[in-house]
Amino acid sequence: MLVINQSTRFLILLFTVFITSSLVLFYKKTGCNFCKHLNININEITKKENIMPVVILGSGSAGMSAGIYASRLGFKTLIIEGEKPGGQLTGTTYVENWPSIQRIMGPKLMEDLKEQNQKLGVSFLQDTVVSVDLAKWPFEVITSDGLKINALTVIVATGSNPRVLGIPGEKEYWGKGVTTCAVCDAPFFKNKNVVVVGGGDSAAEEVLQLNPYVNKITMLVRGSALRASQAMINHLKNVKSLAILYNQDLKKIIGDDSHVTSIVLWDNKQNKEINMDIDGVFLAIGHEPNTQIFKDKLKMDKMGYLELEGRSQKTSVEAVFAAGDVEDHVYKQAGVASGSGIKAALDASRFLQEIGFSPEVANKIQNKYFEISEIGPSKVTSISSLDEYKKEVLESEIPVVLDFWANHCPTCKQMLPSFESLSKKFSGKMKFIKVDIDKAPELVKELYILKVPSFIVFKGGQIVARYNDVMQKQQMESFFGQFID
Ligand code: NDP
């Protein structure tokens, strides 16, 4: 009979406790929902409808580059454009660092990339993804319009959103002097004094976009040096109206209810508070990755950037790849995002080949591919004069929504497809009218427009709501929908 003495028993107990806690720690760290492998059987897809071999979420330089490669590799490819069609480059002016093109407007570069994708047969869906079921394959991708797509591979290229400070007055004066888009709103600050918060390339861009309009720009940098590239710093040297204040933390934004009038700063070197009279606050303090819909589904770091496997673009779930600013917190360049989009498409292609998605299989399911269906022409109209405003808005028998937009405002243009789509959905129940601010100065004055995009909802000739920020389609639908009887 085996005799176990007391010290051996103690050692066994210690060993058991060690193994159990290590397993618990390992499980917590990796999260085993991240490490599971999917039960993939290529023959199963013939039972499905609305199939798409490659679904790309996002249409910035990462998504568009992935589209070019995936379609040229022979796979039917869908790009779901997302909240910001064209991505961040549509919010810049000149791009001077895209290899082989010396100087091009950011929006033009993205238009060209879209055209190249379309010529290669890539389909574009003007919609936003609200969820992706990664628990079973093919993955069910659900959009804000309620479309369901069975994706054999997913490339997440959802980019990032501008960061905000979360200080008093920021929310209250959003659109009343506080903004993140100089390219949209600079014309509202003619001969005014503004601050740009941040010291990176985005802040430098904001300064260059504001320069032709404003009286004085003060750049507020929290540290003792700029983070912007030397090329951008050289551009800043030519801006006569620019002053740069270092070691400044913006603590509070103050206004008179209708717009910003001053700010409170904390000089973190001299430890003293400074009050500054100001008309506008432009925030350019970096971006946060757009990965909320993948929380607890894909492995990400504590800042929300998706984690990749080795040198590939593979995420923690098989058949899901990521590219661009959702996974890159180091380089954050359009060219790098483009390269990672190419890698993601190559990884997706390899995966499809490995699971046996051959031309024969593709042929078998050719009637089962997801198709984009159009639902009639847009019902959006335009007005520019006070007379039209009186007739079309104030005397309207049904609620009216005015969308103040501008050609120089990328986010306004990005929201137009959603606005148009809702005009069809709410046809006869609500009028959808666009106002181009550059062609309607009287209306801009009459309705106190200080920012684009701005939406005003009228009911019975009275203003019932205002909203002056970017909205996703779903948000727009519930916001406008509440005023429909
Ligand atoms: P960055 O992260 O490069 O810079 C952010 C800036 O905001 C830094 O000065 C940072 O200060 C400051 N900041 C961050 N948080 C706060 C805060 N809470 N309060 C005050 N200041 C804050 O972001 P960008 O958006 O400027 O640039 C992102 C990437 O895009 C970069 O790689 C950039 O090169 C690229 N880009 C390139 C352009 C071009 O080439 N034309 C144009 C725009 C962007 P601190 O330095 O102390 O951290």
Q: Report the topology of domain 40-161+288-364.
A: FAD/NAD(P)-binding domain (3.50.50)
Q: What is the pLDDT of residue 213?
A: 95
Q: Do 135 and 39 form a contact (C-beta atoms < 8 A)?
A: no
Q: Measure CA 158 to chain center.
A: 6
Judging by DSSP bridges, how do beta strands 148-156 and 160-162 pair with one another? unpaired
Cα 211 to middle of ligand 1, angstroms: 19
Which residues are near ligand 1 (CB < 6 Å)? 92, 97, 165, 197-203, 205, 222-223, 227, 229, 284-287, 332-333
The domain segmentation of the chain, as residue ranges, is: 10-37, 40-161+288-364, 178-285, 381-481
Nearest alpha-carbon partner for 335 in 155, 181, 113: 113
Summarised one tens digit per residue, pLDDT across range 283-332 is: 999 999 999 999 999 999 999 999 999 999 999 999 999 999 999 988 98
Q: What is the pLDDT of residue 30?
A: 40
Q: Do 67 and 157 form a contact (C-beta atoms < 8 A)?
A: no
The 8-class DSSP code of residue 300 comes to B
Q: What is the pLDDT of residue 374?
A: 65
Strand ranges in 134-267 using DSSP code E only, listed in sequence order:
139-143, 148-156, 160-162, 178-179, 193-197, 216-220, 242-245, 248-255, 260-267
Residue 132's H or E segment, with its range, is strand 129-133
CATH homologous superfamily of 178-285 equals FAD/NAD(P)-binding domain (3.50.50.60)
Q: Which two tokens stand for residue 106?
A: 């950011």
In sequence order, the β-bridge partners of residue 458 are 400, 463
Do the domains 40-161+288-364 and 381-481 sit in the same CATH topology, yes or no?
Answer: no
The 8-class DSSP code of residue 191 comes to T
Q: What is the pLDDT of residue 29?
A: 45
Q: Which two tokens stand for residue 352?
A: 């499809």
The three-state secondary structure class of 219 is: strand
Summarised one tens digit per residue, pLDDT across range 384-408 is: 999 999 999 999 999 999 999 998 8
Length of the chain: 485
Burial class (CB in 10 A: 0-12, 13-18, 19+), 78: buried
In sequence order, the β-bridge partners of residue 454 are 404
- Selecting among 35, 112, 133, 184, the annotated active-site residue is 184
Q: What is the pLDDT of residue 71?
A: 98
Mean of the per-residue pLDDT values of the chain: 91
- Selecting among 32, 145, 181, 279, the annotated active-site residue is 181
> Which regions of the chain are under pLDDT 70?
1-5, 10, 12-36, 374-375
Domain 381-481 = CATH 3.40.30.10: yes
Cα 188 to middle of ligand 1, angstroms: 24
Summarised one tens digit per residue, pLDDT across range 331-383 is: 989 999 999 999 999 999 999 999 999 999 999 999 999 998 766 778 999 99
Q: Which two tokens stand for residue 436?
A: 């181009």
Q: What is the pLDDT of residue 197?
A: 98
Summarised one tens digit per residue, pLDDT across range 231-241 is: 999 999 999 99
Q: Which residue has the tokens 């810049």?
A: 92
